[in-house]
Amino acid sequence: MDSQKILIIDDEAPIRHALRDILEYENYTIIEAENAMEALSILQKEKFDTIISDIKMPNMDGIELLSKIQEICETPVIMITGHGDIDTAVETIKKGAYDYITKPLDLNRLLVSVRNAQDKQYLMVETKKLKKKINKQYDIIGESPTIKQLKEMIDKVAPTNARVLITGENGTGKELVAHWLHEKSDRSSNTFVEVNCAAIPSELIESELFGHEKGSFTSAVKQRKGNFELADNGTLFLDEIGDMSLSAQAKVLRALQENKITRVGGEKDIHVNVRVIAATNKNLQHEIENRTFREDLYHRINVINLHVPPLRERLDDIPLLVEHFTILICENQGMPMRTFNNDAYEELKKLPWKGNIRELRNMVERLLILCDNPVSGADVIKYTRHS
């Protein structure tokens, strides 16, 4: 493993040299700069794991340099100064410095701060990789007119706080739309909480959504925050909202009207700032007629309606979807990359796809495991024929 690189910026050569000796002894690779302009020139050419910068320097001080560094990279910056006061420390931390240490330097604290800063940098890099991987999993794939229109609507709606109702059959990818509405919104750095209303027993849905106080029911052995609280300042995705009980619907309506909730067994109002996105495979107008869904809640959640088309209405997207799933599956399974020939695509287009995109993904995985490369039309016929 390569040694970690640290850039030291200080106009006093003895300080730079002392820091170099200490950090090189700890197996770090050190580069020095005697002023801000030299440091910025170095940062244009090289990447570092941590930066240590003095505050009081001629021409450009460390606080101004900190802002310039943040325009170039996301490397953690530890500020050091011999003129320490609380106001300066607060200002540097507010402006994004990782830490602030006064001279004469406590070497043990400096080493701990460097190690912690590098741990943070490692976690940031890994988080970006993970987020990129997750976003790849949640890509909305397709170039058909209906999918292009859906993507355009997502781009328009996502930056707003408008509530969205996503409709479509099972397996069409309603959750993908919800994820992209969140990722393209101003709330993307905050929590995305997903609740499958159909998978939670009706007697537990209120506790799941709104939380509960200790002792509010037999198994409530401690206080628990609900999903509305967990999604505060983020997005709450209520999947299959058509399966929610009427009593829970009433509480969700209040939360949307007043931006506050009450835990089960509690009396205190808790204010929440949540964007609610709902999805359903049911016809909610019919559910309203059957008195199983509240009309007032329907109008609250249906500010914007996004309909996700079934796969049978976008058959020309099948080759793109198959290629996308092939890459994901081969990477996840550690398999050599495979391909499908044109006959395979044509046979796949003939299938009814009652399970939509979810069924197609499962089919692609089955064919990749069981068939030789490339997957042929005959393979598709063989492994999709009903017994």
The 3-class SS string of the chain reads: CCCCEEEEECCCHHHHHHHHHHHHHCCCEEEEECCHHHHHHHHHHCCCCEEEEECCCCCCCHHHHHHHHHHHCCCCEEEEECCCCHHHHHHHHHCCCCEEEECCCCHHHHHHHHHHHHHHHHHHHHHHHHHHHHHHHCCCCCCCHHHHHHHHHHHHHCCCCCCEEEECCCCCCHHHHHHHHHHCCCCCCCCEEEEECCCCCHHHHHHHHHEECCCCCCCCCCCEECHHHHCCCCEEEEECHHHCCHHHHHHHHHHHHHCEECCECCCCCEECCCEEEEEECCCHHHHHHCCCCCHHHHHHHCCEEEECCCHHHCHHHHHHHHHHHHHHHHHHHCCCCCCECHHHHHHHHCCCCCCHHHHHHHHHHHHHHHCCCCECHHHHHHHHCCC
Structure tokens at 249: 């619907």
What pLDDT score was predicted for residue 160? 95
Give residue limits of the domains in the chain. 5-134, 142-309, 312-384
Per the listing, tokens 């602030």 go with: 100
CATH architecture observed for domain 312-384: Orthogonal Bundle (1.10)
Stretches in the chain below the pLDDT threshold 50:
1, 386-387
Q: Do domains 5-134 and 142-309 have the same CATH topology?
A: yes
State pTM to two decimals: 0.66
CATH code that applies to domain 5-134: 3.40.50.2300
What pLDDT score was predicted for residue 157? 96
What pLDDT score was predicted for residue 131? 58
Rounded CA separation 205/228 (Å): 12
CATH architecture observed for domain 142-309: 3-Layer(aba) Sandwich (3.40)
Q: What is the pLDDT of residues 227-256, one digit of tens each?
A: 999 999 999 999 999 999 898 899 899 999
What pLDDT score was predicted for residue 385? 67
